[in-house]
Structure 1
């Protein structure tokens, strides 16, 4: 028999085993990777099988065991050993305490002098060394010297991670940072009432000053603003679609979204748009060296997730989600569908209703070197609704099919380069596309009405960080954005077609200075914007200041100027089957002005021994808004006026933890008024003016069981009623003063629970149950009036979700 040999005249173990199976009446059983690429010396031929096995044990450190029926198993020995080291700052030489040292099975934390020890079982496993503010180190275990705790130098990371000043803001996993932002970490998240999925756009609605006037994720109101005034970023890519099920659940897969940031004011100068607020979602930035997978199911959708290591420096995450309504229509689906079909073309007479949504996301991380990192992202989102209307004319049944499709595609490349210990650059290029398309087959008018709204945006951003010293960092950058918007209205009978295309290109430069000391944090920035189309120049200052005093107190000052070139218009009459009534439009000289905002806020915070209190007062004014984007349901519904709104408000939170119990109460008061000089009443309450809102909640955690419940109450939204004693004049409704009345108060009780358990070795399960609106409160969130065919006044009410249960089950490998 011939053997495969290496340069040292050793032989592959697999060839030795084959020879032994031919010479002796034994069969060997093993995993391929156990003996792969192992070379050994050739054993003597005149010795027994027992002596040969003993020889191979010494040569390979493998375990050879005789089994029944002349089988011999080969396994790796459970050999563990300890590695050690001492972590130091490369720049200062000071020891680094509280760093995380992570092996495949065990982890350790560095001590005050920077030293650590870690028990490992495989000399080829990758050891991760991480510390906040320093570049992560990846080393193989066999690179550590035996019995020698040598120094390991960590390079400071040039970044602007803001220091956390308040931990567990409402619940575990939400932290308040010194730059005024709220950081959400889903790797370490607790539970919120009514939620069993880590939905970012639902989570932010639990925070003070954030509401959704119609209980959707596609209409989030940050301090009195409309949803189109929010900048929503997914790994730095701007998204123009935020919801599945036409706004009832987030379009961003919770499996991919690991962290999120909410900015209500004091926004970093690198960000544009979002005159009301900014929501930033990020995928996992780490390269993972273990394969893991999970599959899940709830009463709305099924999903799957995979994290695939590609070598030692790269990993790929893939996640997909799809509705299950084509298989089963659950009670949750039925409640959701009833919600979206209100005030739309959908009626009980519709047949063959087909609704489907899905999303697919991808994130690839590649650590090219210690100084170079690359990330590639892709996201596809799709919602589609198709239904058939039947009508009998002259004993002949006719059918027409209507449809609505909403989808988005986004992709980006992100590259980071550390040129030195003090200088770093980041380059990102992205493309994002959005399509809303509706075909309305109108029996009454004998028409087919086709509508489209398309947004296509290309962006590029280059930014650099220079670290002057440990206290001062300077950010500089350039950003280019080209946004194109197309709208189409096409009627077949009588023939009518109008299509508009608009493009805006903006060039921006920005600078921001970060200063931090033990008790003071200051971020001062400015952004310059040049709009090619309007030949306009806009300068926007930004500020965040935080000062710690009296040990347990912080005071915060935030301010910003912002603008945006794109917004949404609403047509309640006929747009997109009445289901998705909003369409994106670009600014156009005086007809559709650039929206501009100014905001300032002052906050005071106290945090000691599990008691957290905060109070924030703010002032915000936004000008250049279109009346058609505000959803008026009165005589000004079709008015094309331009106006502004001003909000003065205060947000208060108190949060107390008692061991395993967490409780919180938040209260917001705001006065939000429009000014439209073209209207008969120039100043009046905003359509989403919620004067008072209160949220009270509690959660309890014991072992792997989490339970949470909460109550949400707010004063009613403004509404305009007809004049009681003279409601109709001719063909028109006589309305009272604009928004001079209020809807009834809103009240909702939610509850949720989750439980994690182990099914088998390496197989974990997660299950949860929730009930939204447990008391089935019939809250009215919108009221409007129409004149019917008999010239009588007809009142219409819009309701949010009623009692809505949900159940989830997930298995992770």
Structure 2
């Protein structure tokens, strides 16, 4: 009774101080007034009415009208039991919600924010103005609003109902732990974003659709960006600003990867379902990272523990996969994924095209030309990942990862002699990349944090090739083992200024082995290199200025050599539309790949990793600078960037020459310079883009004649054009094309195409890389349809076609001596994929 009298007194006090009836008051107070006025008693749980406010009716009502008013203006059910007692219960009903996601710094809407109804598969993303809406949301549901670079916010559905402001504004706070903020939220397609430091971020959870793709294939997707392409349409041969594929540093949750593709480069080996984000850096790299003198491709898996058991499974015409996110407790979770090819069970047109493209220039396609011979090939690939997440408390987080990638090719030859005796020999080629990693992140206070991480990566290529004609067995092995330890500290002086310091230790060992049975021959070479590195970096961002300045000191113990590498990244906004940017870096690389076209690894995988010895194989060193200007006006984004890059210490053995330098070894450099341009128009329902790259890429080997000539990947002009359209909320279409200059090649000398040395004949080449194959052109298309299978799950169908027009592209050309006429040569052209359809069906929950 005392509590009741106190509440009545409080209510009267509020009224006596002039509280207007049109203002909202706590529902609990209003119920007390009704009890006093009509001599009734409400029965309810305190939690059901806590934090609920109501506007008192402007006119005096009787008891029945008052209860009708309460039923109409609250999400509660008021039911009369008798003349004295009234029960109050929560309605099990759904509502429609509307919100606007805003940045706390700019108070502007955030495009592409993720809005997820927890414990369901319901969700959406915000539009250009940051606005979103959802229907049929349970009243008691909680909703998570997230955006990369900002802290998540969890809000109840009831808060939207209680809001009297129409679309409820939701302000997200900038996450100071992010190294750089998002500058462009929708870059080409949903899920591609541009950071303020110029890096490109691929957010796989929000990823939309790109031409020809049926999944957010990480290494295929980044090829739509200017300055990034593959001269032979392979993810294992991505060329960034004229660099070779081995000059890209690929990290998966901090683990360095030495292998990137299935089907020998046609499919990315990294499952996108548990990969949360991918950051691509072409220049101005953070001093935390070394290696990769051309680019850094940094992949991060999901890193948050949720209380929801979720996952998914899917299949396409090449493979099937599944992933699970398993919450074990509030502090412990397990994420696992796996993928395997299905083509050993049945063949598809997609597999046939991929197989023909991958093995067109190998023993598998050459040896069947032998008389009275038959061959059989079985190819299987798989990959898997697992991650353990443990949060000791809000301050300390522990993570442990494993990733495995495998390709296996079995090849059998059978030949029947004149006595009808059949001989069968088997060959095998396997590729494995196994990686382990772990880290401990400690947030000691709001300003200071430390991260201790370690990783181990092992890459193996093993081949066993038994020849039917000679009964000769050739075995080859290439093994890379790398161990890395890193300590990093970060101190945030304020929201504008942060300071990073750290130490990293790397030990890398590389083994190459070749054995032959007839005649007996064996060669094994193993090298080990230790590297100690210290890095420091300061980052400043306030108003219109962004600056990241760092340096890295690398000490190579074996060579007693110290390399200092400065890093610079500056962006200055000149007006609301224009900004200029300046980037620069020095980098080094100790492991490179050499190319051997002499039937290396069954003629399929002709690259093997080698380690710098600082003599015949020096440490590769790069210097790069770039300057650009950005323009952004509403839906239009323009980006113009010029770059200049020189890489010293490259070996002729890792360039894959098809000319007179094929069997020579020399040390040289290459210089790549050019301009990148991108125009992008984005709206709620569509996005269109045009990218163009002009570059000049030349070798310089002083011991060769001529000493300067075009690079093997000297692609002067490259154009990408695309268009995405959301036909319906759950239906998207994408069409795009790629055109670029043809790859350089070397013609035989017209007057004397072959030359005899002792008893052997060789192609007598003309000026190196003085000709180009015909330009490359490909038109691709994709369609995606999603529908909610149940409240907590959905089904997705995607279909894509690469090379819709079936354009015959030559991606490489070389020559061999004609065995029938040693005075002439045979031209051999490697072809790209023809018209190749693919489709996938995915179930997610």
- Interval of TM-score (by shorter of Structure 1 and Structure 2): 0.7 to 0.9
Per the alignment, in what secondary structure is the counterpart of residue 503 of structure 2? strand
Matched, 1:309 2:327: yes
8 Å CA contact retained: 1:202, 1:250 = yes
Equivalent in the alignment of 1:771: 801
Shift, 1:243, TM fit: 0.4
Equivalent in the alignment of 1:377: 401
Matched, 1:737 2:767: yes
8 Å CA contact retained: 1:158, 1:466 = no
Per the alignment, in what secondary structure is the counterpart of residue 265 of structure 2? coil
Equivalent in the alignment of 1:272: 290
Per the alignment, in what secondary structure is the counterpart of residue 592 of structure 1? coil
Q: From the superposition, tell whether residues 128 and 705 of structure 1 become closer, same or farther in structure 2 (CA, over 3 Å).
A: closer
Q: From the superposition, tell whether residues 195 and 295 of structure 1 become closer, same or farther in structure 2 (CA, over 3 Å).
A: same
Per the alignment, in what secondary structure is the counterpart of residue 628 of structure 1? helix
Matched, 1:719 2:745: yes
Q: From the superposition, tell whether residues 576 and 139 of structure 1 become closer, same or farther in structure 2 (CA, over 3 Å).
A: same
- Whole-angstrom CA distance in 1 between matches of 2:805 and 2:648: 40
8 Å CA contact retained: 1:158, 1:421 = no
- Whole-angstrom CA distance in 2 between matches of 1:426 and 1:388: 50
Per the alignment, in what secondary structure is the counterpart of residue 246 of structure 1? helix
Equivalent in the alignment of 1:750: 780
Equivalent of 1:257, from 275, 282, 287?
275
Equivalent of 2:836, from 786, 801, 804?
804
- Whole-angstrom CA distance in 2 between matches of 1:616 and 1:201: 22
- Whole-angstrom CA distance in 2 between matches of 1:93 and 1:354: 57
- Whole-angstrom CA distance in 2 between matches of 1:711 and 1:109: 28
Matched, 1:706 2:736: no
Equivalent of 1:794, from 826, 834, 842?
826
Alpha-carbon displacement from aligned partner over 1:639-667 (angstroms, at most 9, x marks no partner): 11111000011000111235522211111
Alignment of 1:396-407 (within 5 A): 396-407=421-432
Shift, 1:351, TM fit: 2.5
Shift, 1:288, TM fit: 2.0
Per the alignment, in what secondary structure is the counterpart of residue 810 of structure 2? coil
Alignment of 1:549-698 (within 5 A): 549-698=574-723
- Whole-angstrom CA distance in 2 between matches of 1:436 and 1:363: 26
Per the alignment, in what secondary structure is the counterpart of residue 219 of structure 2? helix
Q: From the superposition, tell whether residues 108 and 255 of structure 1 become closer, same or farther in structure 2 (CA, over 3 Å).
A: closer
8 Å CA contact retained: 2:815, 2:826 = yes
Equivalent in the alignment of 2:210: 192
TM-score of the superposition, structure 1-length normalised?
Answer: 0.84
- Whole-angstrom CA distance in 2 between matches of 1:209 and 1:109: 30
Matched, 1:434 2:464: no
- Whole-angstrom CA distance in 2 between matches of 1:157 and 1:126: 22
Shift, 1:763, TM fit: 3.1
Question: Could you list the runs of 5+ residues in structure 2 that have no partner in the other structure?
Answer: 1-89, 127-134, 164-169
Alpha-carbon displacement from aligned partner over 1:302-322 (angstroms, at most 9, x marks no partner): 111111112223322111100
- Whole-angstrom CA distance in 2 between matches of 1:708 and 1:276: 30
Shift, 1:158, TM fit: 4.3
Equivalent of 2:355, from 323, 326, 337?
337
Alpha-carbon displacement from aligned partner over 1:149-203 (angstroms, at most 9, x marks no partner): xxx9999854243122223222222122121211111122221111111101000
Q: From the superposition, tell whether residues 375 and 128 of structure 1 become closer, same or farther in structure 2 (CA, over 3 Å).
A: farther
8 Å CA contact retained: 2:754, 2:825 = yes
Per the alignment, in what secondary structure is the counterpart of residue 334 of structure 1? helix
Alignment of 1:507-546 (within 5 A): 507-546=532-571
Q: From the superposition, tell whether residues 138 and 264 of structure 1 become closer, same or farther in structure 2 (CA, over 3 Å).
A: same
TM-score of the superposition, structure 2-length normalised?
Answer: 0.81
Matched, 1:244 2:262: yes
8 Å CA contact retained: 1:689, 1:718 = yes
Q: From the superposition, tell whether residues 101 and 333 of structure 1 become closer, same or farther in structure 2 (CA, over 3 Å).
A: closer
Per the alignment, in what secondary structure is the counterpart of residue 427 of structure 1? strand
- Whole-angstrom CA distance in 2 between matches of 1:537 and 1:426: 25
8 Å CA contact retained: 2:119, 2:792 = no
Q: From the superposition, tell whether residues 133 and 330 of structure 1 become closer, same or farther in structure 2 (CA, over 3 Å).
A: closer
Equivalent in the alignment of 2:53: none
Alignment of 1:154-169 (within 5 A): 158-169=176-187
Q: From the superposition, tell whether residues 470 and 343 of structure 1 become closer, same or farther in structure 2 (CA, over 3 Å).
A: same
Shift, 1:762, TM fit: 2.6
Per the alignment, in what secondary structure is the counterpart of residue 264 of structure 2? coil
Shift, 1:445, TM fit: 3.5
8 Å CA contact retained: 1:350, 1:387 = no
Per the alignment, in what secondary structure is the counterpart of residue 336 of structure 2? strand
- Whole-angstrom CA distance in 1 between matches of 2:715 and 2:147: 43
- Whole-angstrom CA distance in 2 between matches of 1:550 and 1:733: 59
Per the alignment, in what secondary structure is the counterpart of residue 321 of structure 2? strand
Shift, 1:729, TM fit: 2.8
Aligned Cα RMSD in Å?
3.3
8 Å CA contact retained: 2:678, 2:689 = yes
Per the alignment, in what secondary structure is the counterpart of residue 252 of structure 1? coil
Alpha-carbon displacement from aligned partner over 1:44-73 (angstroms, at most 9, x marks no partner): xxxxxxxxxxxxxxxxxxxxxxxxxxxxxx
- Whole-angstrom CA distance in 2 between matches of 1:157 and 1:665: 32
Alpha-carbon displacement from aligned partner over 1:253-287 (angstroms, at most 9, x marks no partner): 12121210000000000000000001011111221
8 Å CA contact retained: 1:628, 1:640 = yes
Q: From the superposition, tell whether residues 362 and 776 of structure 1 become closer, same or farther in structure 2 (CA, over 3 Å).
A: same
- Whole-angstrom CA distance in 1 between matches of 2:577 and 2:488: 35
Shift, 1:81, TM fit: 12
Matched, 1:477 2:509: no
Equivalent in the alignment of 2:35: none
